[in-house]
Amino acid sequence: MSGNLQVGLTRVMAYGDTLNDGKVQLSFSLPVRYGPEAIEAAKQLAAKMGLEDVDVVCAHDLGGPFTFFIVYGKCRHSVDVTALSVPRIAIDSMGFDELNEFVRAHLDRKIVVVAACTGSDAHTVGIDAIMNMKGFAGEPGLERYSCFEAHNLGAQVPNETLVAEAIRLRADAVLVSQVVTQKNVHIANLTALVDLAEAEGIRDDMIFIVGGPRISHELALELGFDAGFGAGTLPCQVASFIARQVVKNAHRTDAVLPEER
């Protein structure tokens, strides 16, 4: 599509070949044995979802009574982008040297961060990208920053262990990575973590951050966290958010209002 094309944002539709053609691609599995009946079932299901001109372009036998499908169709619905209001993190991201200097100028100590993949989650790629020295996409992780004391507890860490370590280390921030989301297990696990932090009396004393491919800032706020970061987040973005919040909280604590004297 031409970069000069003016697109109206009040009725945004999906497009595949031409603007506003409504073409979408949908993939799903059905507990139906591969065959003509399975393909017809997929077409009818897509039609009941509101898609028009449905084509099943891929039907793959998963073994037993299961079939995987890729379906094309037209969706006639549109979205008014100008009316959207989405919670987002306001990050004034700093570079490596700038951030280290910022903390040195505003704090007389290192910022303590404790991180882990909690519950049954064994996928450490995300938390390692943020915490480990090598970082991600050319950006160093928190372990390389001189202004951070970074503790990566690894995978399948019970919430109780994470909270206990945060208390022992007197952490400023707690980072949680959640990749496993089947049956919304991440929602239950994250809710339990916040409840435990509140029960231990540390929720208001530490910054709680969650990240993962199905994590949004809006969801994080709903679950009681201070921030949520999705896929593609850079270590400097998380580091900048933590540093600015810690400095802000420290100055708020140190300040004495006239009416409080």
Annotated active-site residue 23? The verdict is no
Distance of CA 248 to the CA centre of its chain: 24
Place of tokens 């549109």: 78
Q: Is 37 exposed, middle or buried (0-12, 13-18, 19+ CB in 10 A)?
A: exposed
Task: Quickly count: other Cβ atoms within 10 Å of residue 193's Cβ.
Answer: 27
Angle, in degrees to the nearest 10, between helices 185-199 and 159-168: 40
Q: 23, 110, 134, 183: which is the annotated catalytic residue? A: 134
What are the residue numbers of the active site? Answer: 134
